[in-house]
Homo-oligomer: A and B are copies of this chain.
Amino acid sequence: MASAVADKEPKIGSNDDLNSISVEPNGEITHEPENGRVEQPKRNVKFTVTPVSDSEHEATAKNDNRPEQPVSFDVLDGDNNDTYNLQNSITALLSSKFRDIQKKLKQYGLESPRFRKRLVSKWESLNYDICENVLYLKERDKHKSKKWVTLRWIHRWVIMFMIGIGTALLAAAIHAIVENLAHLKFELVKDYLDHCAKEGCLYQPVLIWMAINVVVTMAGAALVTFLQPKAAGSGIPFIKSYLNGVKIPGLLTFRAFIAKTVGVVCSILGGLACGKEGPMAHSGSIIAAGLGRGRINFCAGKSCSLYDSFRNDHEIRDFVAGGAASGVSSAFGAPIGGTLFSLEEAASFWNQDLTWRVFFASMIACFGTNFLISSINGHPTKLSAPGLVRFNVFKYDLNFDLIEIPVFIFMAVVGGLLGALFVVLNYKLTVFRQKYLNKNWIKVVEAGVVSVVSAAIAFGLLVGINDCTTEHPSDHHAVTSKLYCKGEGEHNSLSTLFLTTPEGCLKALLHDPYGFHGPVSLVAFVCIFFFMGVWTYGLSVSSGVFIPALAIGAAWGRLVGIGVINMLPDSTHLQIDVGKYALIGAACQLGGILRTTISLTVILVECTGDISFGLPIMIVLMISKWVGDFITTGLYDMNVEVLGMPMLPFDCPPLTEDLRASDIMSQPLYTFKPKETVRNIYSMLQQETFCGFPVIEEDTSTTPRQIKLKGLILRHQLLLLLHKKIFCPPGQVQPRNVKLKDFRDFYPMYMKVEEIEISEEEMDYEMDLKPYYNPTPYTVESIFSLPRVFNLFRGLGLRHLIVVNDKNVPIGMVTRKDLAKFRVGSKRGIVKIEHLNIEDK
């Protein structure tokens, strides 16, 4: 079906969009209908609804069998003449300035804004609701004892423990491999550089350096691109979406694990501006999903299965929450931050017991990582390395004075602006990549190009700036090159930044003594690293954005620190504070780029290891978030938008109370009878892509005939029943040789309907659905308002919500995409509601 509509899909960024979108002088993006057709009555639209274009409409209609007549949303009335008080404020002034710049940018622009204003129909919901059918009740009767409940409880804790241990082992292994290999590589490069600086054969080490980088990087990129493309990037947008309830096939597989873990080692060894912290969250989640399912699927379709009792979306998602938390916890040594990270997305399902389990897993992961890395460092009982990256080795206590707060606030504003710039540039690049660099081999080559350019620029700066210093770096293991520095004990200060992993670079910027890095080197470093960071994020390699963001911020924070210290008289005693400014700068930059909430704050505070310094960190994170949000969304949100994921926000968008369930539901509804012929079922599954079908019963004895909702049956249940041939000629007794275990074994790799072979004779058999459908699906009446439907859907983690009329007859279905298509944004301080398209892709 996707291919059938592919030619109708509007070309992104092309000017012949059926519905072009323009920015009007009042700053609102409005919709200009072409061909003289007005699809939506404009009188009542106060907020701007980006309507569904014609071609979209057809695609959608074909996909979800919506009737062709335009669905008339009586969306919201209002008057455009409303003058806002805020219009005359600084806000408005700034935003008009910004608009001008944006307009100019747009003329060179690569894309239309529509690219972010759509949902992709392939993303489905996880199924969090328990199907209490006859099978389930039978199965449960067997295990219905306090003992069983207790054992199940213990089992969950044991798996969480194993998740923590597994994540810790992985973190320690990656850390040891990356650090040792990178150190070797940089030692080699450095010796060669020092040697050749004297001999004048500098092109040799540079070529070797580039060669190593390009080979390793392209290996990593190839691994990701060909084995499992979902392992690209940090994986955090995917994990957040998954925890929010979006089903992402292939995300939590063994292939993704290999691509992610081996890939991240390659990326860092290949000299890309990326960290290994983000991918840890994804890797931890995969470990959790694997342990929860009790099964590993190897490449050749072989699998190794241990136990099956937790094989449903509900349990697996709980484990994945633990895994993501463990990953973050072992990466940053932040058990509380990790817990919050995974719970803030899955929060509609927060409960105390789950929270404890998640916390337990992340504590084990943190503790295990600490122990293992300490052991590798040779002192296993002195626990000194709670995570892969820590900021807490300041040689003095972090303190701050109230008069420093304004400086911090200034830095937060800068961080927010730079962060927004990062996101905007990366967005343009992402769109460019999707348009032009969408072939697998091009992706691999691009990664190679980036690694070559990284090495070339680094070398260029080393030689070009040649900033010599005699001070010792804070880290004794740091690789320093003399290069052209002639003096006794002198070495090139930039070499400690470039001849190390991005993590080492961050540590150097935070902890190196005051005079180590000169302003010129720092400015050059910020510019280069910023653009390399933008370019690297989104490559088809396994890479995290935390560390580069922190390193960029630390560098310009250090610059600010040097500035402040130089401006004040008698400031030699303040020189020790330069690391503090670097830390604040790092926080500002990260906050500006990612904009993530409480969990990020806690992670940074835990990384810093000093609570009393938490306050300024919290303040700058909040301000940089606000400044950034004023311009654009955060990086992860941008990723999610570009992917067209139907993420459900925490609250229903405001001003949507006038929409009724009947306005938003998908229609028409295809239903089954409790006894249905195999032919009907088979052809329905072939023709429709729906994942759930209401089961209705007609009472023919009364007039008018009464239709009664009996339950809801899911596509994958029907597929298994067809596959197991649970049907019989009419009048005979249906075989009952299917158990709950079969459904669980099936999870989550459901077959396609085409793979099931049914003979022509069997087509006329009947299937009794009664033991299998969910007899108590949640329903809403058609007059329910959108907020009430939304709360029900989100609060209960549903996948299907049946809309009934006032006689309890099902008339439609609400799914995740029907709710997610209304998105609220607050652009430049004004709330804005958009109606997204749903695209096949």
Q: Which residues of A contact B (CB under 8 A)?
A: 46-47, 76-78, 82, 84-86, 130, 132, 137, 140-141, 144-147, 149-150, 153, 333, 335-336, 339, 344, 347-348, 350-356, 359-360, 363, 366-367, 370-371, 380-383, 386, 392, 400-403, 597-598, 601-602, 605-606, 608-612, 614-615, 618-619, 622, 649-651, 654-655, 657, 708, 775-776, 778, 780-781, 783-785, 787-788, 791-792, 795-796, 806-808, 826, 829-832
Contacts and interface: CB of A to CB of B under 8 A. Distances in A.
A111 B350 CA distance: 36
A796 B807 contact: no
B381 A402 contact: yes
B806 A796 contact: no
Nearest to A352: B650
Given A146-B655, A610-B610, 14 more contacts: A76-B144, A153-B831, A344-B350, A348-B348, A348-B350, A350-B350, A363-B618, A363-B622, A381-B402, A383-B615, A610-B611, A775-B783, A776-B783, A792-B792
Contact of A650 (B335, B351, B781): B351
17 contacts: A76-B144, A132-B788, A140-B657, A333-B611, A335-B615, A335-B618, A336-B601, A339-B598, A344-B350, A351-B651, A353-B651, A355-B597, A356-B622, A360-B622, A366-B615, A392-B612, A807-B808
A598 B150 contact: no
A792 B785 contact: no
Contact of A615 (B137, B367, B605, B619): B367
Nearest to A147: B84
A655 B831 contact: no
Contact of A597 (B352, B382, B608): B352
A617 to B, nearest CB: 11
B598 A146 contact: no
Contacts of A832: 146
A597 B356 contact: yes
A82 B360 contact: no
A383 to B, nearest CB: 6
Contact of A132 (B132, B355, B371, B657): B657
Nearest to A660: B776
Contacts of A649: 352
Contacts of A367: 615, 619
A783 B132 CA distance: 11
Nearest to A622: B360
Contacts of A347: 347, 350-351
A338 to B, nearest CB: 12
B831 A146 contact: yes
A708 B808 CA distance: 10
B788 A781 contact: no
A341 to B, nearest CB: 13
Instruction: Give 6 closest A-B pairs by Cβ, nearest first.
Output: A351-B650, A795-B795, A381-B402, A347-B350, A609-B611, A808-B808
Contacts of A149: 654-655, 831
Contacts of A778: 788, 792
Nearest to A128: B791
Contacts of A781: 776
Contact of A708 (B146, B360, B780, B806): B806
A326 to B, nearest CB: 14
Contacts of A392: 611-612
In this complex, the member of A610, A615, A622, A792 whose beta carbon has the largest number of chain B beta carbons within 10 angstroms is A615
A348 B352 CA distance: 11
A549 B799 CA distance: 47
A650 B349 CA distance: 9
Nearest to A596: B352
A336 B598 contact: yes
A95 to B, nearest CB: 13
A76 B146 CA distance: 11
Nearest to A613: B609
A605 B386 CA distance: 15
Contacts of A830: 146, 150
Nearest to A152: B654
Contacts of A775: 783
A32 to B, nearest CB: 21
A598 B355 contact: yes
A150 B829 contact: yes
Contacts of A622: 356, 360, 363
Nearest to A381: B402
Nearest to A787: B130
A401 B708 CA distance: 67
Nearest to A785: B132
A139 to B, nearest CB: 11
A371 B145 CA distance: 56
A375 to B, nearest CB: 10
A130 B657 CA distance: 11
Contacts of A86: 147, 150
Given A392-B612, A612-B392, A655-B146, A776 B787 contact: no
